């Protein structure tokens, strides 16, 4: 049945039989299930991605229906992710859809993206994009940006290689300007399909280990006079993200994101990212994490106050700090104050785990 289902993909040089099987083992996160996310998730679903994780906190409104083609009149008032999951599942029995109804923030972002192979940006806020992109960069998860408003759209791919610009080289510290929202400027459904289509084409290439076309380049699309422009984007000299990833973590806990490696006691080195102005650090240990995560969570719950647990994570307190540890060993430490304290807490945790 699988072969039958995908029989029209097998003759394609862009997919083919072998790659169709590869896609079955890929997980893609679609952040935002509005105008772009509804289109990109349908394409990913059609292409046979093994698992699609969809995230949105919104409910369906009447004004969404002309462009958000997964939803119907009967769905008004219901959660976007729930209805999207129902529709997507009806269209492809071979793709698993996980729906998460939440707003992406600096606290939940690491848990949300851990384990996915690629992130599709279907967001409409720069503030959320910045949080998602920074987390994706610290975990080295490829990220495909797309934006669309009125009759124009743009798409760009990021694999986090140093030679290419990062998202913040382009958006800088742009804030969300209400006069540029789709409520005010409108959005043509056609531009959403073109933009999301190009975005998913890029995603496919990355998922199949091919080089995407939009690294360091932005595809601009304008349907008023049908224009496709490809522009080169250079790295920004003093980009707040990629040009200060040099290693100046000590500089502070407020205002800037920095990144570098530190020794964690006798355990080894860990990459540490400090998140913008939030007194939050993400630790990505470089030593071998070889553990039974269920045993680890059991043991942690005997020692510290546990706030919540899931199959792949545990959130608990060590004194005044809050820690979310995921099964890959990546830990997000909040309310730790200075970097030194965060490192001490991380060391204490791994000393305990090793015992």
Chain residues in the site for Zn ion (CB under 5 A): 166, 168-169, 239, 241-242
Q: 143-149 and 118-121 as β-strands: parallel, antiparallel, unpaired?
A: parallel
170 touches 233 (CB < 8 A): yes
* Closer CB to Zn ion, 99 or 168, in the complex: 168
- Least distance (Å) from Zn ion to the CB of residue 168? 5
Alpha carbon separation from 48 to 40, 52, 107 (Å, rounded): 12, 10, 31
* Closer CB to Zn ion, 60 or 169, in the complex: 169
User: Which of 195, 274, 178, 143 shows the shortest CA–CA distance to 34?
Assistant: 195
- Least distance (Å) from Zn ion to the CB of residue 11? 40
Handedness of CA 115, 295, 308, 264 (dihedral sign): negative
- Least distance (Å) from Zn ion to the CB of residue 214? 16
* Closer CB to Zn ion, 18 or 173, in the complex: 173
325 touches 334 (CB < 8 A): no
- Least distance (Å) from Zn ion to the CB of residue 176? 20
161 touches 209 (CB < 8 A): no
- Least distance (Å) from Zn ion to the CB of residue 240? 7
Alpha carbon separation from 175 to 19, 108, 242, 274 (Å, rounded): 40, 21, 19, 20
* Closer CB to Zn ion, 189 or 216, in the complex: 216
- Least distance (Å) from Zn ion to the CB of residue 207? 24
* Closer CB to Zn ion, 239 or 289, in the complex: 239
- Least distance (Å) from Zn ion to the CB of residue 59? 35
* Closer CB to Zn ion, 169 or 345, in the complex: 169
20 touches 28 (CB < 8 A): no
323 touches 315 (CB < 8 A): yes
Say if residue 13 is exposed, middle or buried (CB neighbours under 10 Å; 0-12, 13-18, 19+). Answer: exposed
* Closer CB to Zn ion, 88 or 169, in the complex: 169
């Amino acid at each position: 049945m699988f072969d039958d289902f995908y029989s029209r993909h097998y003759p394609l040089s862009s997919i083919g039989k072998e790659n169709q099987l590869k896609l079955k083992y890929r997980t893609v996160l679609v952040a935002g299930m509005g105008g772009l996310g509804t289109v990109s998730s349908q394409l990913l679903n059609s292409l046979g991605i093994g698992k699609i994780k969809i995230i949105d906190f919104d409910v369906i409104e009447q004004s969404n229906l002309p462009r958000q083609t997964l939803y119907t009149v009967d769905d008004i008032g219901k959660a976007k992710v729930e209805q999207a999951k129902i529709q997507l599942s009806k269209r492809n029995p071979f793709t698993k859809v996980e729906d998460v109804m939440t707003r992406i923030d600096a606290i939940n972002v690491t848990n949300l993206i851990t384990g996915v192979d690629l992130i599709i940006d279907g967001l409409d806020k720069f503030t959320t994009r910045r949080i998602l992109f920074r987390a994706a960069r610290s975990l080295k998860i490829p990220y495909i940006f797309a934006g669309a408003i009125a009759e124009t759209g743009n798409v760009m791919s990021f694999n986090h290689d140093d030679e290419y610009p990062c998202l913040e080289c382009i958006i800088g510290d742009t804030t969300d300007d209400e006069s540029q929202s789709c409520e005010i400027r409108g959005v043509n459904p056609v531009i959403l399909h073109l933009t999301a289509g190009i975005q998913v084409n890029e995603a496919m290439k990355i998922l199949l280990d091919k080089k995407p076309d939009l690294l360091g380049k932005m595809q601009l699309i304008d349907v008023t006079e049908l224009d496709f422009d490809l522009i080169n984007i250079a790295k920004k000299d003093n980009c707040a993200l990629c040009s200060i990833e040099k290693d100046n973590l000590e500089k502070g806990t407020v205002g800037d994101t920095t990144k570098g490696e530190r020794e964690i006691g006798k355990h080894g080195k860990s990459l540490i990212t400090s998140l913008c102005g939030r007194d939050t650090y993400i630790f990505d240990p470089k030593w071998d994490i070889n553990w039974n995560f269920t045993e680890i969570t059991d043991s942690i719950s005997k020692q510290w106050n546990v706030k919540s647990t899931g199959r792949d994570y545990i959130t608990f307190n060590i004194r005044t700090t809050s820690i979310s540890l995921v099964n890959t060993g990546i830990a997000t430490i909040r309310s730790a104050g200075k970097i030194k304290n965060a490192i001490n807490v991380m060391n204490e945790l791994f000393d305990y785990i090793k015992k």
